[in-house]
Amino acid sequence: MKNIYLMKIPKIVIYGLLLTSFIWSCQGFVEIDPPETALVGNTVFTSDATATAALTGIYNRLMTSSNLFANGTRSFTLLAGLSADELRNHSTNQDQIEFYFNEITVTNDFVFEIWRELYRYIYAANSVIEGLANSEGTSSSVKRQLEGEAKFIRAFFNFYLVNMFGDIPVITETDHQLNNVLSRTSVTAAYDQIVSDLTDAQNLLAEDYVSNGSRLRPNRSTATALLARVYLFNEDWNNAEIQATAVLDNPLYNLEGDLNNVFIKESQETIWQLQATRARINTYDGFYFVLTRTPNRVSLNSEILSVFEVGDNRQLNWISSVTPDTETFYFPFKYKVRFSATDGPILEHLVVFRLAEQYLIRAEARLQLGNVTGATQDINVIRNRSGLGNVTSIDLAGIEQERRIELFSEWGHRWLDLKRTKRADAVLAPIKSSWQSTDVLFPIPQEEIESNPNLIPQNPGY
């Protein structure tokens, strides 16, 4: 009898159990413990502390479970890695198998849970925006920062929704009666809302970080980094270059010379990271990807080894292997900590945005604008950091390769790149016998369509 409760309430926004699911103490973000009872409506926004707790609870929620969008067995990183050519499947879970063979059904629980979870966060962000607008107890500086973070969050999750599902309902308020009957908005209109939110976030967010010297809460450059990616995906090369340059010129950020330091919590390359919340587990990427025995979930597709040039330190430092019997299994080793034997200090946080991506974005934008020299210079920065020599010129195939080996097993970059460059058929059809061109989109969950027929038509191929 799964999801009986969820089927009795408005689907998209009530999944969040209203804002109450997000009002809790978040160690490292706030210094107060919220009351035991649920805080709703304007009660939440009577002080800077409670308003901040409402917002930062979203980040905490992202990291509290091993099977959410950002984490572990149902993370977008894992599922997109299976959908593309990055990860091998070793699980007997049928829902995971469907991702690996690109035969996802409309009743796949993982798809349903991703849809539900992302709209839950969007609902929470909308609640914060509305609450702040009516708040008289929140200071102007805190109000600006929180509104900027909420609009960034809304844009962040809409970005992933539109790339997973295509046309989606774009929700900007908390009226569940309205939201429950919304139709799907075109991809173009969804991106218009994303750009609008990110532009607002840039104007609202502080330039520096407000999370006690850490990079756990978005700042202006976080919004700018996502905006650069959005413009790249929409082939707005000029604006992609402008936004990426704004991040690259910021003295807060520098590429780490030692590849083993890129994913530590003090990394100067990090633009935004999510804080570890469970004792002895730094990140679930480390916990589930680092292998000590025969895998029962995923391993790294060994084919990627052939893509690296000889002497590329990314292969030496970011890929490892285990041979428990006669077969060798490879795994992503960007995060080094699988599990701490004792309650020691946290060494790694989950990196969401980092500087290397901005070099890759600018390189591609520059190349598309005809600036081959500038594009080559950006690529050589990434190559030099990896122990490789300069290339004299770069083309789109070379940039695709650099993105593949720099960003593997991070937030589905490979899957998203194959889709946006229309290379999915050429790359995946030869290695996946059941591949169809329509597999580049996931299906709208059947339970959602049954609850709201305005979500019809279903995505092609399902």
**pLDDT tens column, 242-276:** 999 999 999 999 999 999 999 999 999 999 999 98
Query: Domain containing 56 — which CATH number?
Result: 1.25.40.390
Q: Which helix (H) or strand (E) holds 330?
A: strand 329-332
Supply the DSSP string of 72-99, one letter for each residue: GGG-HHHHHHHHTTSEEE----HHHHHH
Is a pLDDT exceeding 70 seen at residue 76? yes
Question: What residues make up the domain containing 66?
Answer: 11-188+198-205
Q: Is residue 257 assigned to a domain?
A: no
Rounded average pLDDT over 277-289:
89
- Predicted confidence at residue 72, as pLDDT, reads 79
Contact status, residue 193 vs residue 158, Cβ threshold 8 Å:
yes
Residue 99 covered by a domain? yes
Backbone φ/ψ region at 346: left (φ over 0), alpha (ψ -120 to 50), beta: beta
- The DSSP annotation for 336-379 comes to --S--SSS----B-EEEEEHHHHHHHHHHHHHHTT-HHHHHHHH
**102 domain residue, yes or no:** yes
d(CA 131, CA 82): 39
Is residue 238 included in any domain, yes or no?
A: no
**pLDDT surpasses 50 at 441:** yes
- Angstrom CA distances, 31 to 26, 88, 108, 132, 318, stand at 8, 43, 40, 20, 36
DSSP structure string for 400-419: HHHHHHHSTTSTTHHHHHHH
More confident residue, 68 or 309: 309
Mean pLDDT across the chain: 90
Rounded-to-integer distance, Cα 144 and Cα 279, Å: 33
Q: In the prediction, which pLDDT does 23 show?
A: 41
| Bigger pLDDT: 176 vs 100 | 100
Q: Nearest-CA neighbor of 439 among 190, 98, 116? A: 98
Residue 345 is predicted with a pLDDT of: 86
pLDDT exceeds 80 at position 22: no
pLDDT of residue 104: 98
Confidence band, pLDDT 50/70/90 cuts, at residue 67: confident
Whether the CB-CB separation of 195 and 230 falls below 8 Å is answered with yes
**Nearest Cα residue to 448 out of 154, 107, 94:** 107
* Predicted pLDDT at 212: 83
> Does 65 reside within a domain?
yes
- Cα 157 to Cα 154: distance, rounded to the nearest angstrom: 6
- Considering the domain boundaries, does residue 389 fall inside one? no
Determine the average pLDDT of the residues in 28-56: 62
CB 60 within 8 A of CB 53: no
**Tokens at residue 136, please?**
């008289």
Quickly list DSSP for 13-40: HHTTTGGGGG-S--TTT-S----SSPP-
Indicate whether 84 belongs to any domain: yes
User: Is residue 168 in a domain?
Assistant: yes
> According to the model, what pLDDT value does residue 187 have?
98
Over residues 401-421, the mean pLDDT reads: 98
- Indicate the pLDDT class of residue 41, thresholds 50, 70 and 90: low
Number of domains in the chain: 1
pLDDT in tens, 414-438: 999 999 999 999 999 999 999 999 9
Query: Residue 59: its pLDDT value, please?
Result: 92
pLDDT digits (tens, 9 = 90+) for 292-307: 999 999 999 999 999 9
Residue 186 has pLDDT above 70, yes or no: yes
Q: Residue 172 in 3-state DSSP?
A: coil
